[in-house]
Amino acid sequence: MSMNELIKSNIDKIKKQIKEAEKNAGRKEGSVKLLAVSKFHPVEAVYDAINAGQFDFGENRVQEAFSKFPEIFQKFPNVNLHIIGQLQTNKVKKAVEIATMIESVDRLELVKEIEKQCAKIGKNIEILLEFHTGEESKSGYKTSESLEETLEFIAQGNAPHVIPKGFMTMAPFTEDTELIRKSFSLMREIAERMQEKFKNFNLSELSMGMTHDFEIAIQEGSTEVRVGTAIFGQRT
């Protein structure tokens, strides 16, 4: 199989698994979006995925995203890029230039900088707030109070270019599926609580699930799974 065919067959397979997981969880077909995580893979691999009908991509590092995606956008303006990795304040300017969504917002300072850079170029950007639910991952808000503080800041009208859409989390890297499940269900509970408090926002997006745990995430209410390895192969 050529790389092109392999990536297409991987995407078809995952889409089928997503559909199956939706059905098993009693969820509506098409309620879970696939984000293809192309980090560490060359631009050619992204084109292969696009050829297979995949238009939503995730990248961890702004620098790498910037070296790949501008040329892709030229050819395919309907491609969406989400930034999913820890974001340093000094990378925000470039991030908001190329991303339609930043999923890894983990502090109020970042929201302030995103607002500042978006205001400069007159662009609105969607964000997810990343919450820390698993022992192994270090990133994300650690308390629901700190989440609330950020949402309150936006709700007060301090960041009109920043559109909160929901939450993102990473489960611990373990074989223990119950631990993984707990991590996702905690995220969902906190998301529901925040939606109750901030009724003027639509916080319905839950970005949860990767190659090894996306089926559990879908059972626990994920609306977007971020899949890299199962599409593009091992990262080197």
Interface stretch with ligand PLP, choices 14-22, 74-82, 93-101, 224-232 (CB under 6 A): 224-232
One residue of 4, 146, 211, 233 binding ligand PLP per CB under 6 A: 211
In the block, residue with structure tokens 């999913």: 84
Least distance to ligand PLP, CB of residue 162, Å: 20
Binding span for ligand PLP by CB under 6 A among 88-96, 141-149, 188-196, 221-229: 221-229
SS3 state of residue 227? strand
Query: For ligand PLP, which residue has the nearest CB?
Result: 228
The smaller minimum CB distance to ligand PLP, of residues 126 and 198, is found at 126
CB-based contact 18:214 (threshold 8 Å): yes
C-alpha 10/C-alpha 74 separation (Å) is 26
The tally of CA atoms less than 13 A away on the side-chain side of residue 111 is 27
Instruction: Give whichever of 143 and 229 is closer to ligand PLP, judged by the CB atom.
Output: 229
Judged by CB under 6 A, does residue 229 bind ligand PLP? yes
Kindly tell me which residue out of 32, 37, 45, 83 binds ligand PLP, with binding defined by CB under 6 A. 37
Residues 6 or more apart in contact with residue 192 via CB below 8 angstroms? none
Comparison of 120 and 138: residue with beta carbon closer to ligand PLP: 138
Give min distance, CB of 126 to ligand PLP, in A.
16
166 binds ligand PLP per the rule CB under 6 A? no
Q: For residues 89 and 34, give the distance between their C-alpha atoms in angstroms, rounded to a whole number.
A: 27
How far is it, in rounded angstroms, from Cα 49 to Cα 38? Answer: 9
Q: Within 80-99, which residues bind ligand PLP (CB under 6 A)?
A: 84-85
Is the Cα torsion angle 222, 227, 231, 234 positive or negative in sign?
A: negative
Check residue 144 for interaction with ligand PLP (CB under 6 A): no
Question: In Å, what is the CA distance from 29 to each residue of 18, 49, 52?
Answer: 9, 22, 20
Q: Does 228 bind ligand PLP (CB under 6 A)?
A: yes
- Residue pair 89/125 in contact (Cβ under 8 Å)? The answer is no
Interface positions, 39-68, toward ligand PLP (CB under 6 A): 39, 60
